[in-house]
Structure 1
Amino acid sequence: MVSEGNAIHSSCAVVEAEQGARASTSPVRRAGNTFFKLLYRYTHTRAWRHNERFAHGVALERDAAGRLTGMCIRGHRLACVNAQMALAPDLHDAGQECHLIATGPSVNLIDYRALHMPRVLGVNGAIALTERQGVRFDYYCIVDTGFVRSRPDLVERVVREPLTLFATPLVLWHIAERIGLERVRCRVFLVDDMLFPAGHRAPRMGELRAAYDARALALFDAPRPLGFSLDLRHGVFDGRTVAYTGLQVLASLGFRRLYLHGVDLADAKRTPRFYEEASNMQPSYLDENFRDFIEPSFRHASALLGRRGVDVRNLSMESALGEDIFRKLRWQTLVRDAACAGEPARACAPESSCAAMPGFAAAATLAPTPARASALA
C-alpha cells in the first residue's frame, strides 16, 4: 500500500513506466486528471491529499459503520463483494491453511508442482507462477500503485483470473486508467487504508484508538503508527510491504495456519524479484523501510497472531525476518508431510475460489465462477 510517504518514492521510480502506460489514455483524459488532481491538492490540507485522484469521476460507497461497500469510476460500477463478506473465523477448523506467495527470489527455489496448497493468496507479481509452474490463486492482493503503473501486463493477468482481488480504491483507479474496468473478470474486495482512508481525512492514532475496539484493530505501542487489522472490512495497515497487507487479509478471513513464500526482504534494492532479471527489475524501498516499519510490524503481528492461535511459518530460509518472528520451515517438509498423510503432492485449485472461500456468503449470492482447471493443465 502506498502511503503519502511511500507515494513520493514510488511516483519518482515509475515515471518512465508511467509514460509508456499513458499511451492507452487519451490526452484529453490525462489533462483532465491532472487539472482536477492539482485543483484538489491546492484546495485541501495535507491530511486530505491522498484523495487527489478521487477528485473527479469517482464515487465511493460506505455503509452505516463507515466501511467501504462499493465504488464507481466514470460511471462504471465495480462488482464488489464487500457486502457479501461476513468474517467468521469460527467456520474454520485448526487445520484450515493458506499459502501467501510474495515475490522474493527464494520463490525460484520451490517446486510448486510438488506442493499441495488448499488455498493460495498472491501479491503483486506472484501471478507469474501461473504460467511458470501452474499455480492457481484463490485470492490476490495489490495495494501498491507503483506496481500497477510499472507492470500493467502482470496486473492484467491478475484481473482476468477467477479469483478475489483485495485492492485499495486508488489501485483500482489506476487499473481503470491503464487496463480498463471492462477487462476486469475477477471479484473485487475494496480494502481501505487505516491511516489514509479513501475519501476521508487521514486520522490521528488517538482517533483510531477511540473509534475501534481490540476485536477489530490492534495498535502497537511503537514510535511509528503501526498496527494490525483484525477486521478487513474496516481497513488494513500497510506495513510498507504488500505481504503484510496479505497477512491481515488471511487473518481476517480466519485461516489458522499460514505459510509465507518469498517474504525475503533482504537486500531488495539490488536483488531482482523472482520474476525479474537484473536488467529489468523495478525499484524497491523495502531496505530503507525494514527497520522502522516492516520488521516491527511483523514482530508485533507475530505475537498477536500467536495469542489468537494462528500458526505462521516462513518458507524463506534467508528471510530478513528472524526465527524469533516466524519459525522458518523448508518447503520440502510440506511435501514430505503431505506424502505421509496420503495427500496428493500437487498444486491444485478448487472449482470456485469464492464459493469455497472462508467467510463468504453462499455462492448463489455471487457471480458464477468458471470451473478452474488443475494446476498441471
Structure 2
Amino acid sequence: MISVDQIRPSQSVASEMSVVHEYAWPKPAQRLSSTFFKLVYRWSHSNAFRHNERLWHGVSIERDSRGFLKRMSIEGHDLLVENPDDLLASQTGDCHLIATGPSVNDIDYGALDLHNVMGVNGAIALQDKHPIRFEYYCIVDAGFVRKRPDLVARVVQQKLTLFVTPLVLWYIAQYFPLSQFRCRVYLIEDIQYPACKRALLKHELLSTHASTDLVLFDEEPTLGFSFNISRGIFDGRTVAYTGLQVLTSLGFNTIFMHGLDLLNAAQTPRFYETKETMQPSALDGDFNSFIEPSFRHAAPLLSRRGVRVVNLSAQSALGSDIIEKDDWHSLAHVSLEQE
C-alpha cells in the first residue's frame, strides 16, 4: 500500500510546508524545441493522435500485460511511478476531497480533525492558513500547471500520492526537477484518450473496456464513471469529478466534497485568489453539458454501490436533488464527540 501513514503531528505538516518550493520557467530554447516537435507531430499524425503531441519526443511510457499504465520516463529520467493493484479497494471509511471553490473560506478547519484528505489543483494553498495534511492529490489540468507552477511545486515536494496524467506530468517536468520529487506518482489517463495510443471512438469505449468497473452514461458527449482508475477515468470537465473516481476506486465509503461550488466560476475567485489574481475558468460553459449530467448520473450509481457522497457547499450549483448536502459544522460535532 502506498498511501501515507495517517498520522497528524502538526510539526510534520509544518516541516513539509516550510520546504523551499523552487521552480523555473522553461528557457526560450527549451520552449522553442518543444513547440517544434509538437508541430512536427501535428503534421505527421491524424487528429486521433493529437492528444499525444507532447508525449512522443523524449517520453517513454510502459504498460503492463493488461494495457494499464506502469512506468514513465522523461528525457531518460525514470519517474517514481507506483501503480500497484493492491492500492485499489484498499481503503474504507470516510475521506475528504478539497476543491477550490470560495466556500472553502467559510469552513473553520481548525475545528476539524480530518483524515484521508485529497486536494485538487490549488487546494494546497489552504496550508497557508491551516496545517492540513494531504494524503492524496489529483491534477489533470495541464493549464493549471502552466498558470500556477508555484502551487504545483508545493504539491510535488510533499509526501503524498499524486494522481496525474502523463501529459500533466510532462508539463510539471518543464518547471520542476524530477529528481526533487518527494511525492509518489500514480499515473491515470482519460479512458477515451489513452497516452501514446489512438483516441477511441465513442462506440469503441465499451467494447474495448468491457468491465463492470466502467459505466458509460452517454456517448455524445462521452460521460461515465470509473470504479477502477487503472482502466482509465472519464472526464467530467472538473478535476473534482476525477478525484471522486479516484477516491471511489481506493475504496472509501463516504466522501465529503469541500468547495464544490461550480457557481458563476468565471466571475468568482477561487478560495485562494482575489479578483485581481484569479485565473480564467471554463466551468460555467461546461456545467450543463458535462459537469451536471456527470454528477447526476453518478450519484445514484454510487448510492447503489454503498458509497455516500456529501456536498459541503451550501451555494453549490449542484442541488441536493443530485448530491446530498450537509453543513461543515456537522463534521466539527463528530470531531468533538471523538475526543
Task: Compute the TM-score of the two structures, normalised by the length of structure 1.
Answer: 0.82
Q: Of residues 200, 208, 218 in structure 2, which corresponds to 1:203?
A: 200
Structure 1 gaps of 5+ residues are: 1-20, 345-377
Q: Displacement of 1:222 after TM fit?
A: 5.8
8 Å CA contact 2:56, 2:196 repeated in 1: no
Superimposed CA distance per residue, residues 312-343 of structure 1 (whole angstroms, 9 cap, x where no aligned partner)? 11000100001011110000011113323xx2
Q: Which amino acid aligns with 2:85?
A: M
Counterpart AA for 1:336: H
Q: Verify: 1:81 aligned to 2:78, yes or no.
A: no
- Mapped partners of 1:291, 1:160: distance in 2: 36
Letter of the structure 1 residue corresponding to residue 51 of structure 2: H
3-state SS of paired residue (2:54): helix
- Aligned partner of 2:128: which letter? E
Other-structure match for 2:282: 285
Structure 1 segments (4+ residues) deviating >4 Å? none
Map of 1:144 onto structure 2: 141
Does the residue aligned with 1:305 lie in a helix, a strand or coil? helix
1:245 partner SS: helix
Q: Alignment length, in residue pairs? A: 318
User: How much does 1:117 deviate?
Assistant: 1.5
Query: What is the TM-score normalised by the length of structure 2?
Result: 0.91
Q: 1: CA distance between counterparts of 2:72 and 2:24?
A: 25
1:329 alignment partner AA: D
Contact 1:87 / 1:254 at 8 angstroms: preserved in 2? no
Q: Percent identity?
A: 55
Secondary structure, aligned partner of 1:133: coil
Q: Is the 8 A contact 2:112 2:332 kept in 1?
A: yes
Q: 1:87 offset after TM fit, Å?
A: 4.8
Any residues of structure 2 matched to 1:227-266 within 5 Å, and which?
227-266=224-263
Residue 307 of structure 1 is aligned with which of 297, 304, 313?
Answer: 304
SS of 1:39 mapped into structure 2: helix
How far apart are residue 194 of structure 1 and its match? 0.8
Q: Tell whether 2:119 aligns with 1:122.
A: yes
How many angstroms apart in 2 are the aligned matches of 1:23 and 1:55? 23
- Residue 27 of structure 2 aligns with which residue? 26
Structure 1 residue 26, shift from structure 2 partner: 3.0
- Report the Cα distance in structure 2 between the residues aligned to 1:210 and 1:71, rounded to whole angstroms: 27
Change (3 A) 1:23 1:159: closer
Kept in 2: contact 1:87–1:231 (CA 8 A): no
CA offsets 1:236-273 (integer angstroms, 9 cap, x no match): 11200000000000000010011000000000000000
Letter in 2 for 1:269: A
Q: Tell me: CA distance 1:22–1:166, structure 2 relative to 1, closer, same or farther (3 Å).
A: closer
> How many angstroms apart in 2 are the aligned matches of 1:33 and 1:223?
33
Change (3 A) 1:88 1:123: closer
Q: Who is 2:53 aligned against?
A: 52
SS of the residue 2:70 aligns to? strand
C-alpha RMSD of the superposition: 1.6
Q: Say yes or no: does 1:71 pair with 2:68.
A: no
Matched, 1:217 2:214: yes
Partner of 1:155: 152
Where structure 2 has 5 or more consecutive residues not aligned to the other structure, the ranges are 1-21
Q: Could you tell me how far 1:285 is from its partner in structure 2?
A: 0.4
**Cα offset, 1:130, TM superposition:** 1.6
1:170 aligns to 2:159 (yes or no): no
Rounded Cα–Cα distance in structure 2 between residues aligned with 1:133 and 1:308: 34
Q: How far apart, in 2, do the equivalents of 1:297 and 1:291 lie? A: 10
- Distance in 1 (CA, whole Å) between partners of 2:209 and 2:253 is 23
Distance 2:271 2:201 in 1: 37
For residue 179 of structure 1, report the CA deviation from its aligned partner: 1.6
CA distance in 1, matches of 2:25, 2:191: 32
Q: Distance in 1 between matches of 2:127 and 2:244?
A: 21
- TM-aligned CA deviation for residue 212 of structure 1: 2.0
> Higher relative contact order at CA 8 Å, sep ≥6: structure 1 or structure 2?
1
**Residue 317 of structure 2 aligns with which residue?**
320
Correspondence for 1:62: 63
How far residue 73 of structure 1 moved from its aligned partner, in angstroms, is: 0.1
One-letter amino acid of the counterpart of residue 202, structure 1: A
Which residue identity lines up with residue 264 of structure 1 in the other structure?
D
SS at match of 2:294: helix
Partner Cα distance (2:214, 2:54) in 1: 27
SS in 2 for 1:195: coil
Partner of 2:6: none
Amino acid at match of 1:48: F
Contact 2:91 2:250 in 1 (8 A): no
Query: For residues 22 and 52 of structure 1, what CA distance do their matches in structure 2 show?
Result: 24
- The match for 1:179 is 176
| Residue type of the alignment partner of 1:327 | E
Contact kept in structure 1, 2:213 and 2:226, CA below 8 Å: yes
Distance 1:92 1:102 in 2: 21
Q: Is the 8 A contact 1:53 1:170 kept in 2?
A: yes
Q: What is the aligned counterpart of 1:268 among 243, 265, 268? A: 265
Question: Match of 2:218, SS?
Answer: coil
